[in-house]
Chain A
Amino acid sequence: MTTAVLPRENYLNTDYRLRSWLLTTDHKRICILYLLTITMFFAIGGAFATMIRLSLVNPAGTLVSDETYNKLFTMHGIIMVFFFLVPSIPATLGNFLIPMMIGAKDVAFPKLNLASWYIFVTGGCFTLWALISGGVDTGWTFYTPFSTLSSNTNVSLAAIGIFIAGFASILTGLNFMVTIHRMRAPGMTWFRMPLFLWSMYATSLIMVLGTPVLAITLLLVAAERVLHLGIFDPSRGGDPVLFQHLFWFYSHPAVYIMIVPGMGVTSELIAAFSRKRIFGYEFVAFASLAIAVLGFLVWGHHLFVAGLSIYSAMVFSLLSYLVAIPSAIKVFNWTATLYKGSVSYATPMLYAFGFIWMFTIGGLTGLFLAALGLDVHVHDTYFVIAHFHYIMVGGAIMGYLGGLHYWWPKMTGRLYPEGWAKLGALTIFLGFNLTFFPQFILGYMGMPRRYHVYPPEFQALNVLSSAGASVLGIGYLIPLVYLLWSLKYGPIAGDNPWGAKGLEWTTTSPPPTHNFAVTPIVTEPAYNYAGEQEESRVG
């Protein structure tokens, strides 16, 4: 690779004009559009988080007013969940990789793919408008009757923003499902697909089935505010708890929209950097689908103290324990994959290790919350905050960054500086754990979430958490800087810098607009590092 050069023609240099980007139907360029958009949203959401952690250093909460604090955590949640985490891996890595991994020229509906981005941006604009024109103070969960009767902030505007962005999610999911069904190259059977595709398929299923319910729910909130329908208003015979059922019917599966893609990325990273087939491929693949399906049946565990009958609470608790099993299966299989592998400590692999650590802790603490009698105590405390940040930030962002590093050479044709990248990964890992681990202890002590002022005995752990957050903040800046630097100065990567398997590594980096010079024909299973002849496998 001493004389490596970038391929003369690739998807990035076919046309430099702005309109060629804004009107592109190339899935790889749409990936870049999403990448820029969600990075911006991540920065905004991160700025809110910074303010929150700064305020919480002082138990008296003198930095900002109560109103401002409430708006800060609301906008942090809305932006991070709906405009960063939900689209993060699917809209960027999913868009880039699904066609490449199955040996296709593009997704099934390229124009719809572009439309999804425009819809997403439109929804984002509404939400930013709600933010700039005064903000929202309902929490990202929009609980009624507070959101419908009490709050006098821009609830409807923010709800409409999320409503619109939801369609981007639905259409992306639809596009991916059709693509995986219809566009696979000759020989690419379902059980030869990389596990990332299984996870994207499961994610798409949740997006298509779950998001409409969120859309209806938010529309009802907006309608109730404007038209005073009384659906959630107890004084008109409505039921405020009904909202929680509807909201979590989407928003619990949405947690899996955020984490299942991270699991898919982790499977790819573990395979590539131990040069070995994933242990129990079929189990890992079906675990994704099991999570997607079971995930729809556990929403009630958000309502254990909210007024469920004790018997339905029991059913939801049982189902919540069941959904933990496929997650456990995945972790064990990843671990077993390393056995007799050829393990490299490249940066993406460090992120994969980080993912497993975060996800294991996040998943195990989920068992605490599914435990009925224990949830009564820890519900709505910092224990919950710590738990879902371990999953959604620790897990999802570790997966996202790991994937971004792994496929960065493919996307840009250039390598990032390995030393800086390792430093960044380590900083993020330490910063994250320092920020969120103390919050488990804080939660069990009883500090409720969404508290602007708090009793002084909680201060020490809050200061520790805020200190961790500043390390984490620096950690996120490191990759931002060196990845941008690498665009111009990074060494030329070549087609397959990792020696990895998978169709995406058989084409040039960056790939040409139509991905492959000739349509590939697949003759072997995924991750065939050992060069085995395919036998009649069980599965």
Chain B
Amino acid sequence: MLSGIQLFPEEASTFAPKVDALYFFLVAVSAFFVVLIAGMLLFFAIKYRRRSPNEVGAPIHGGLLLETVWTVIPLLIAMVMFVWAADLYFQAYKPPKGPAINVYVLAKQWMWKFQHMDGQREINELHIPVDQRIKLIMTSQDVIHSFFVPDFRVKMDVLPGRYRTLWFEATRVGTYHLFCSQYCGTGHSRMTGEVIVMTPEAYAAWKAGGVSGDTMATAGEKLFTNLACVTCHNAQSGARGPILTGLFNQKVALTGGHPVVADDAYLRQSIMNPGSQVVAGYQPIMPTYQGLVNEEQLLDLIEYIKTLKAMPAVPTVTTSEPDGRAVPKSSARSLPVAPSAQR
């Protein structure tokens, strides 16, 4: 049994050796100071032990030089730690540009759901290829959870109502623990899973065998039609709703003048609470879809919107009304509104 005791986590991501290097530096500094202080305490305590009942200590008040030394040296060491660690944090929490495999993560009491672009859906298991950048776009359906893979040295809280992006690159094939590390209620310690890192070939085979339905974008497109989103967002200039083609990651001007970037969080917010950020030039007429779409469907919808790449510009005609608002010439206005409009 003793041979099975493991005292250090595996290094299974590009990030792990970097975190460990910083960790060992801190362990070394700490060990040095513990030995220094404990050693001095012990040495003084023995050397200057009380030898007669009425003995008193020497009249020493202090020393400015010593105070300066033991203020400045720890401060300098602390600043080294600070800069080193901040740099690591930036690497971990600022996803790099460039190609990556995107996976959507939905946390809920008490399970992890994963949705791959190509339609694979998994619960408490995440299959990924080795040596490739993985980007997780994470949200929670209920309370705060935290995505934690110790062997990758990555962790990020997963929040309801927000999308957060975590990235990593696994370097070793194997199966690794996934923990929820933010307390989330009764089944918190059972909200665990596995990250299965596979060779590229095995991953390709898994992908080919695992599709259970539509890709996310296709599922999103169906929803887009079924929920009658298309009624207003009909890609025609002058429609009631803004054009969504090529929208993702673009700057959008809102009523009130603040431009925002149309990222996942913006799209989500626009579907769940449309009145909070109306695109300049449009009326706040869109109803909320809260309660009509669940978090998974939201992810599908967003993924669909992301796939709407800019097409060759179609010439359209609009007239300007006195208030400067673009109004359509088409008859889109007469189309039925989404069924939820009256809710």
Contact = CB atoms under 8 A, between A and B. Distances in A.
Nearest to A277: B61
Interface string B1-29: 11011111100000000110011001001
B188 A450 contact: yes
Interface in B146-199: 146, 148, 150-151, 153-157, 159-162, 164, 177, 179-190, 192
Contact of B92 (A149, A376, A380, A441): A376
Interface in A435-473: 441, 444-446, 448-455, 457, 460-461
A305 B147 CA distance: 10
Interface string A223-242: 00000000000110100110
Interface residues of A, number: 97
B55 interface: yes
Interface in A252-304: 274-277, 279-283, 304
Contacts of B90: 310
B7 A380 contact: no
B57 A529 contact: yes
Nearest to A73: B183
A336 B66 contact: yes
A306 B38 CA distance: 36
Interface stretch (B81-89, B121-129, B245-253, B310-318): B81-89
Contact of A240 (B50, B81, B88, B160): B160
A273 B53 CA distance: 11
B70 A332 contact: yes
A5 interface: no
Nearest to B184: A146
B58 A341 contact: yes
A213 to B, nearest CB: 21
Q: Looking at B8, B45, B62, B160, which has the most chain A CB atoms within 10 Å of its CB?
A: B62
B78 interface: yes
Contact of B50 (A344, A360, A373): A344
B70 A143 contact: no
B9 A444 contact: yes
A356 interface: yes
A362 to B, nearest CB: 11
Contact of B164 (A146, A307, A328): A307
Contact of A340 (B48, B67, B148): B48
A145 to B, nearest CB: 5
Contacts of B86: 314, 317, 372-373
B160 A280 contact: no
Q: Looking at B56, B71, B154, which has the most chain A CB atoms within 10 Å of its CB?
A: B56
A381 interface: yes
B330 interface: no
A298 to B, nearest CB: 13
Contacts of A145: 142-144, 160
B81 A235 contact: no
A381 B66 CA distance: 37
A169 B233 CA distance: 58
B41 A379 contact: no
A70 B159 CA distance: 21
A14 interface: no
B49 A343 contact: yes
Contacts, number: 296
A275 B57 contact: yes
A74 to B, nearest CB: 9
Interface stretch (A83-91, A115-123, A318-326): A318-326
A335 interface: yes
Q: Interface extent on B, as a size class?
A: 35 or more
A307 B63 CA distance: 45
B183 A444 contact: no
A139 interface: yes
B213 interface: no
A379 B155 contact: yes
Contact of A281 (B62, B82, B190): B62
Contact of A364 (B34, B54, B188): B34
Contact of B183 (A139, A304, A324, A343): A139
Nearest to A529: B56
A310 B89 contact: yes
A3 interface: no
A185 to B, nearest CB: 23
A267 to B, nearest CB: 13
A255 to B, nearest CB: 18
A530 interface: yes
B37 A381 contact: no
Contacts of B273: 237
B260 interface: no
Contacts of A485: none
Nearest to B31: A364
Contacts of A332: 37, 66, 70
B283 interface: no
Contact of A275 (B55, B93, B185, B192): B55
B186 A70 contact: yes
Interface string B65-109: 011001100110011011011111111111000000000000001
A94 B109 CA distance: 45
Contacts of B85: 317, 370-375
A446 B9 CA distance: 7
A325 B74 contact: yes
Given A281-B62, A321-B78, A342-B57, 15 more contacts: A66-B189, A67-B186, A235-B161, A241-B159, A275-B50, A307-B162, A328-B71, A339-B44, A375-B85, A377-B153, A444-B23, A455-B177, A455-B192, A457-B5, A460-B5
17 contacts: A70-B186, A137-B186, A151-B185, A235-B161, A274-B57, A310-B94, A314-B89, A321-B81, A332-B66, A364-B34, A367-B81, A376-B92, A376-B93, A377-B155, A380-B182, A499-B53, A531-B56
